[in-house]
Amino acid sequence: MALSIEDIKKVAHLARIEISDTDVNATLIKLTGILGLIEQMQAVDTTGIVPMSHSQELSQRLRDDVVTKTNQRDEFQKNAPLLGNHSTQQAIADGLYLVPKVIE
């Protein structure tokens, strides 16, 4: 499968990764290389083989439904970013984390 510049930009946008126009070509070449490896693997006959979902042959352990976490909001909110590049104020208010306005 041949990737286009547009594919790279779309994937980068979905992952919110900023790729400058000068880097797009290099990224295209690298990703095309990875897809080439995948194409080689897809040529192998895997009829009758159950797809692997995890590299370890183990099953998920379950946790008892008991509250073990306490309220550490004040500690966690010390990590909140600043409101802007030149601000000294953290992006928190009334216990909420603040982010640029999202509109549905």
Partner 1 sequence: MEWEVVIGLETHTQLQTNTKIFSGASVRYGAEPNTQACEVSLALPGVLPVLNKQAVHCAIKFGLAINAEIAPRSVFARKNYFYPDLPKGYQISQFELPVVGKGAVSIQVPAQGKLAAYEKVVNITRAHLEEDAGKSVHGAVEGMSGIDLNRAGTPLLEIVTEPDMRSAAEAVAYAKKLHELVQWIGICDGNMQEGSFRCDVNVSVRPKGSEALGTRREIKNLNSFKFMTQAIEYETRWQIETLEDGGKIQQATVLFNPDTGETRAMRSKEEANDYRYFPDPDLLPLIITEADKARISAAMPELPEAMKARLEVQYGLSSYDANALTTSRDLADYFVATVNAGAGPKQVANWVMGSISAKLNTEDKNINASPISAQQLAQLLKRIADGTISNNAAKQVFEAMWCAEGDVDSIIVAKGLKQESDSVAIEAIIDEVLAANAAMVEEFKAGKEKAFNALVGQAMKASKGKANPAQVNDILKKKLTA
Number of residues that bind partner 1 (CB under 8 A): 40
Stretch that binds partner 1, among 1-9, 22-30, 31-39, 92-100 (CB under 8 A): 92-100
Containing 37, the helix (H) or strand (E) segment is: helix 21-42
State which of residues 4, 22, 63, 85 lies at the interface with partner 1 (CB under 8 A): 63
State which of residues 4, 53, 85, 88 lies at the interface with partner 1 (CB under 8 A): 53
User: Could you give the CA distance from residue 50 to residue 46 in angstroms, rounded to a whole number?
Assistant: 9
Contact 75, 82 (CB under 8 A): no
Query: CB 73 → partner 1: shortest distance, Å?
Result: 5
| Residue 22 vs 104, nearer CB to partner 1 | 104
Containing 36, the helix (H) or strand (E) segment is: helix 21-42
Contact 12, 18 (CB under 8 A): yes
Q: Which residues bind partner 1 (CB under 8 A)?
A: 10, 13-16, 53-56, 58-69, 71-73, 76-77, 79, 91, 93-104
